[in-house]
Amino acid sequence: MSIGPSSPNVALVAKLVAKPDQADEVSTFLADAVRLANQEDGTIAWFALRTDASTFWIVDVFASERDRGRHLDGATFSAVLDRRERLLDEPPEILRAELLAAKLPKSSIGDDWAVHGF
């Protein structure tokens, strides 16, 4: 299967554990942060997830290591780091990941892929 230059191949997975009294604020912040992610050309997909009352995850997908690096230097990542001491119970756990497979709507990333096993 051919992978085009704009196809995703790298990601970040970040675990955020909110202070018990700050979980609602973290939820609101992440819901609003999608606007920042939408302004990043190199961010192909961005997800904010909640798995329990105080545990949140951010998953970012990029076409290249360069795009991932720009994200780490950008506004979305900085916004998370700027709020960490006030909102989070522990430092965020940020993992670099290789994207193995994905299914996203064609319109979100172009017609060259919708379901891919890399």
Write out pLDDT tens, residues 90-111: 999 999 999 888 887 776 555 4
55-99: pLDDT as tens digits: 999 999 998 999 999 888 888 888 888 889 999 999 999 999 998
CA distance linking residue 92 with residue 72, whole number of Å: 13
Q: Give mean pLDDT, residues 39-53.
A: 92
Per-residue pLDDT for 14 more than 80?
yes
Are the beta carbons of 8 and 47 closer than 8 angstroms?
no
Bridge partners for 48 per DSSP? 58
Per-residue pLDDT for 1 more than 50?
no
Parse the chain into domains and list their residue ranges.
10-101
DSSP letters, the chain, are: ----TTS--EEEEEEEEB-GGGHHHHHHHHHHHHHHHHT-TTEEEEEEEE-SSSEEEEEEEESSHHHHHHHHTSHHHHHHHHHHHHHBSS--EEEEEE--EEE--HHHH-TT-SEEE-
Higher pLDDT: 114 or 31? It is 31
The whole-number pLDDT of residue 40 equals: 87
Does domain 10-101 match CATH 3.30.70.100? Answer: yes
What are all long-range contacts of 102-106, with beta carbons under 8 Å and residues at least 24 apart?
A: 102/8, 102/45, 102/61, 104/45
Percentage of the chain beyond pLDDT 70 is 83
pLDDT band of residue 29 (cuts 50, 70, 90) is very high
